[in-house]
Amino acid sequence: MSIKLKTDNLSPGLGNNFRNDLVDNFSEIEKEINGLDSTNSGDQITKEELNEKLDKLKNGFIKDNEALKKRINRILLGTDVEAIEIIVNRILKEKGVNN
């Protein structure tokens, strides 16, 4: 059994870097989930190996969550250049100043 997550149908509304980070995260999760699938290889996964993989995933989520919190704080404080550019361009487009 192989799992295919929808990783590339995410809106670029928050910026391409943010979208690409999410796509990369989903791709990594997909690889890890499919790596846990022992029916394709015939190998057995021990509880310790499973716990090790889950801990690795959990630590990755914690790290990514911290990065996301920092990005959100930069956006809220108005110091995230990428988000500011997107918003300014959207406003200019609405006003007919920018195509």
pLDDT tens digit string along 9-49?
Answer: 666 676 777 777 777 878 888 888 777 765 555 567 788 88
Assess if residue 4 is contained within a domain: no
DSSP-based three-state secondary structure for 69: helix
Domain count across the chain? 1
Assess if residue 63 is contained within a domain: yes
By 3-state DSSP, what share of the chain in percent is helix, strand and coil, each rounded to 5?
A: 70, 0, 30
Q: Which of 3, 93, 79, 71 is nearest to 39 (CA)?
A: 3
- CA 21 distance to own-chain centroid: 4
Assess if residue 41 is contained within a domain: yes
Q: Quote the pTM value.
A: 0.41
Assess if residue 99 is contained within a domain: no
Residue type, 60: G
* Tens digits of residue pLDDT in 40-98: 555 677 888 888 989 999 998 999 999 889 888 888 888 888 888 888 899 999 998 87
Boundaries of domain holding 24: 12-94
